[in-house]
Amino acid sequence: MVDLPRRSLLAGIAALGATACSKINDSEAARGLFEAAEDGHRAVHRALAGKQGLAPEYTRAERSPTFRGNGSVTVADPFYKQQLAGGFPDWKLEVRGLVEKPLALTLADVRALPQRTQITRHDCVEGWSAIGEWQGPQLAHLLDVAKVKPEARFIVFRCADTLYGRDYYESIDMVDAYHPQTIIAHSLNGEPLPEKNGAPLRMRIERQLGYKQAKYVKSIEAVTSFDSIGQGGGGFWEDVAGYQWYAGV
Ligand SMILES: Nc1nc2c(c(=O)[nH]1)N[C@H]1C(S)=C(S)[C@@H](COP(=O)(O)O)O[C@H]1N2
Ligand SMILES: [Mo]
pLDDT tens track, the chain, 249 positions: 333 333 333 333 333 333 333 333 444 544 444 455 445 544 554 455 445 699 999 999 999 999 999 999 999 999 999 999 999 999 999 999 999 999 999 999 999 999 999 999 999 999 999 999 999 999 999 999 999 999 999 999 999 999 999 999 999 999 999 999 999 999 999 999 999 999 999 999 999 999 999 999 999 999 999 999 999 999 999 999 999 999 999
- Residue 144 alpha carbon to ligand 1 centre in Å: 27
Give the model's pLDDT for residue 94.
98
Measuring CA to CA, which residue among 107, 135, 110 is closest to residue 120? Answer: 135
Cβ of 124 less than 6 Å from ligand 1: yes
Which one-letter DSSP state was computed for residue 227? Answer: T
Give the model's pLDDT for residue 130.
98
Secondary structure of residue 99 in the 3-state scheme: strand
**Ligand minimally distant from the alpha carbon of residue 159:** 1
- Residue 211 alpha carbon to ligand 1 centre in Å: 6
What fold characterizes domain 6-241? Answer: Sulfite Oxidase; Chain A, domain 2 (3.90.420)
At what angle are helices 3-24 and 28-51 packed, to 10 degrees? 180
**Alpha-carbon distances of 39 from 16, 43, 46, 140, rounded to whole Å:** 13, 6, 10, 31
Residues, Cβ < 5 Å to ion ligand 2: 124, 210-211
Cβ atoms of residues 121 and 200 within 8 Å: no
Ligand 1 atom with least separation from CA of 132: 20
H-state helical runs in 25-157: 28-51, 78-85, 107-112, 139-146
Give the model's pLDDT for residue 39.
52
Give the model's pLDDT for residue 4.
34
Cβ of 162 less than 6 Å from ligand 1: no
Model pTM score: 0.83
Cβ of 70 less than 6 Å from ligand 1: yes
Domain ranges of the chain: 6-241
Give the model's pLDDT for residue 151.
97
Cβ of 69 less than 6 Å from ligand 1: yes
For ligand 1, atom 8: residue with the closest CA: 72
**Ligand minimally distant from the alpha carbon of residue 236:** 1
Q: Count the neighbouring beta carbons within 10 Å of the beta carbon of residue 216.
A: 24
**Ligand minimally distant from the alpha carbon of residue 194:** 1
